Amino acid sequence: MQIAITNPYCWPEVRRGSERLLEDLSAYLAGRGHDVTAISTHRGPRLVKDSGNRRFVLLPQRLSGCGMGRWLGPLHVFSLQCLREIERGAFDVVHALSYHDAFGAALAKGRGKKFRLVLHLVGIPVKEYFRRIPLDYVMFKQAIKAADEIILVLSAYAREALERNFGRTGTIVPPPVNLDGFQPKLKPVGGPVKLLFVGDVDEQRKGAGPLVNASVAIKDQFPDTDLQFSGHVSEKRRSALLTQVAGSTDLPYRSWTSEESATCRSCIGNRMLRSFRPSGRPLAWRSWSLLPAAHLS
**Do 69 and 142 belong to one domain?**
yes
Within-domain flag for 233: yes
Range of the domain at 161: 2-172
**Do 155 and 51 belong to one domain?**
yes
**Do 28 and 156 belong to one domain?**
yes
**Do 14 and 113 belong to one domain?**
yes
Within-domain flag for 292: no
**Do 16 and 155 belong to one domain?**
yes
**Do 184 and 257 belong to one domain?**
yes
Instruction: Decide which of 111, 140, 172 is a domain's last residue.
Output: 172
Within-domain flag for 295: no
User: Of 121 and 216, which is predicted with more confidence?
Assistant: 121
Within-domain flag for 168: yes
The CATH code of the domain that includes 261 is 3.40.30
Within-domain flag for 60: yes
Determine which of 6-15, 30-39, 52-61 has the lowest per-residue pLDDT on average: 6-15
**Do 162 and 183 belong to one domain?**
no
Supply the pLDDT for residue 191: 62
**Do 8 and 139 belong to one domain?**
yes
User: Of 250 and 16, which is predicted with more confidence?
Assistant: 16
Contacts of 202 (CB under 8 A, 6+ apart): 232, 233, 234, 237
Supply the pLDDT for residue 138: 96
Supply the pLDDT for residue 188: 62
- Rounded mean pLDDT of the chain? 79
Within-domain flag for 267: yes
Which pLDDT tens digit goes with each residue over 170-192?
Answer: 999 876 666 677 666 665 655 67
Within-domain flag for 76: yes
pLDDT band at 218 (very low <50, low <70, confident <90, very high): confident
Which pLDDT tens digit goes with each residue over 59-107?
Answer: 999 887 776 777 788 999 999 999 999 999 999 999 999 999 999 999 9
Question: Of the ranges 50-64, 178-192, 221-235, which is most confident?
Answer: 50-64
**Do 155 and 234 belong to one domain?**
no
Total structural domains in the chain? 2
Within-domain flag for 220: yes
Instruction: Decide which of 172, 204, 233 is a domain's last residue.
Output: 172
The CATH code of the domain that includes 111 is 3.40.50.2000
Look at the pTM and tell me if it is higher than 0.75. no
Instruction: Decide which of 172, 197, 228 is a domain's last residue.
Output: 172
